Amino acid sequence: MAIRIPEFALSESVLFNMASGQRQVATLSTQVASGKRVQSPADDAVAFAKAKNLRGVLAATNQYQENIGHVEDRLGVAETSLGGMQDILTRAKELGLAMANATVSESQRTLMATEAQHLIDELVNLGNTQLNGRYIFSGARSGTPAFGATGSYRGDASVQRVEVGEGILVDANVTGDQVLAGAGGGVDAFALLTQLRDGLGANDQAAIAATLDPLDSAYDQVTRARMTAGLQLSKLDMRRANLEEVAFQTERLLSGQEDVDMASAVSQLVTQQNNLEVSRSVLGRLLAEPTLFSYLR
C-alpha cells in the first residue's frame, strides 16, 4: 500500500519549511541592516571572542596615540623653551666677548650688568615654563617652579616615563637640573651668568673672560638636551605612524571577524525570499486544492 499523506500533514510540512526560511530571512536582514555578522556570542562564538580581543587592541592603540600626543605636547614646549635658552646663552656669550675687550669702558661694563641680570631673569622664566599649569622642567615636582629667582634648582631628577606601546616606555620630560643646573657633571648656567653679571658690575675684565669657555659648554649642554628632545619627538612620530598602521590592520581584521559580506548576504537574502515566495504559492494552491468532497453533489 502506498504511504498515505493526509492533506493537513502536507500543508504542515510546507509551513514548517517556510518557518525556517522566514527565520533565515530575519537573520539575514538584521545582518544586512546592521552591517554586522557577529554581535552576540551566539552568532559565532569564535569570531566573537576574537572581535572582543581585537577591540581591546584597538582601544589600547588609541590610548597609546593619545599618550603620544601628551608627550609630544610636553616635549614640543620643552624644545621651544630650550631654543629660547640657547638664544639667551648665545646673547650672554656675545655680551661676555664684547665686554671682555679691553677697549670697553667701565661705565659700559656696569651698564651691561643690568642686561646680564635681565638674561638671568629670562633664563629663570624659561626654566619655569608651564604647560597646563605644570612646570615642565621640575621633574616629578611639577607643582613647584623649577628654578628660584637666583637659579637654584627646586625640582627633582625624576624622568617621567609614559607608555606608548605595550611595554614601550619613553621619557616624557627633560629635567632642569641636567639642562641648566649642571647636574651629572655639567655646567651651572646660572652660576656662570651670575659670575658674568658680577664681573660686569665690578668691571672685572678677567672674571668676564673666564665665563666665555664655560658659556660655550653651557650652550652645548642645552643644545644636547634640545637634540635629545627633538630626537625623541621624531621617534614618537615613527611610533605614531606604527600605531596608526596597527590600528588600521586591527580594524581590517575586526571587520573580517564581525562584518557581514554584503554581496553574499544580500544574494542569500534574495534567494531565501524567492524560496519563500514559491512556498507561499505552493501552500496557497495546496489549501485551495479540492478534495473529493468538492465533487459530491
Partner 1 sequence: MSLGPLMDNARAGLTAARFGMELVGRNIANASTPGYSRQEVQFESVSSGGVRTWSVRSMVDNFVQTRIAQESQNQGRLDVERRLLSEVSPVLGTTETGLDAALTQFFGALSALTAAPDGTEERAQFMFRAENLVTEFNTEASNLDGLARQIDGEMGVTVTQVNKIAADIANLNGVISRAAGNDGASNQIIDQRTDLVNQLATLVDARSFSDGQGNVNVFVAGGMPLVEGINSYQLALSGSSGYSSHPGVAVIGPSGEQLDITQRVGNGALAGMIRIRDDVIGGALADIERIAATLTLNFNRVHAQGYGLDGSTGNAFFSALSASTVNAAENIGQPSVGAVVSDLAAVTLDDYEVVFTSPSQFDLLNATQGTTVSSGTAYTSGMTLAVDGLTLTLSNGASAPQAGDRVRVATVAGHGRNLDMVLTNQDKVAAATSLSTVTTASAGAQGTIAATVTDGTAVTFDSYDVTFNGSGQYSVRNVTTGATLLSNVPYVSGASFTVDGIQVTLANGAGSPAAGEVYTFAGEALPSANGNALALSALETEKLMDGGTLTLAEKFARSASQVGVEQQSVDQAVDAQALVMQALDLRRAAVSGVSLDEEAANLIKFQNTYQATARLIRVADEMLQTIINMV
Binding residues for partner 1 (CB under 8 A): 3-9, 12-13, 16, 20, 36, 38-46, 48-49, 51-53, 55-56, 59-60, 62-64, 66-67, 70-71, 132, 134, 138-144, 156, 158, 160-163, 166-167, 169, 172-173, 258, 291-293, 296
Least Cβ distance, residue 73 to partner 1 (angstroms): 10
Residue 285 dihedral angles phi and psi, to the nearest 5°: -65, -40
Least Cβ distance, residue 291 to partner 1 (angstroms): 4
Least Cβ distance, residue 241 to partner 1 (angstroms): 19
Least Cβ distance, residue 154 to partner 1 (angstroms): 8
Cell of 63: 590610548
- Residues 186 and 216: beta-carbon distance below 8 Å: no
- Residue number with CB closer to partner 1 (81 or 88): 81
- Residue number with CB closer to partner 1 (93 or 154): 154
- Residue number with CB closer to partner 1 (70 or 224): 70
Least Cβ distance, residue 274 to partner 1 (angstroms): 21
Least Cβ distance, residue 34 to partner 1 (angstroms): 10
Q: Report d(CA 21, CA 272) in Å as an integer.
A: 6
- Residue number with CB closer to partner 1 (223 or 242): 242
- Residue number with CB closer to partner 1 (94 or 161): 161
Least Cβ distance, residue 287 to partner 1 (angstroms): 12
Least Cβ distance, residue 27 to partner 1 (angstroms): 11
Q: Report d(CA 234, CA 51) in Å as an integer.
A: 33
- Residue number with CB closer to partner 1 (143 or 185): 143
- Residues 131 and 73: beta-carbon distance below 8 Å: yes
- Residue number with CB closer to partner 1 (8 or 102): 8
- Residue number with CB closer to partner 1 (140 or 212): 140
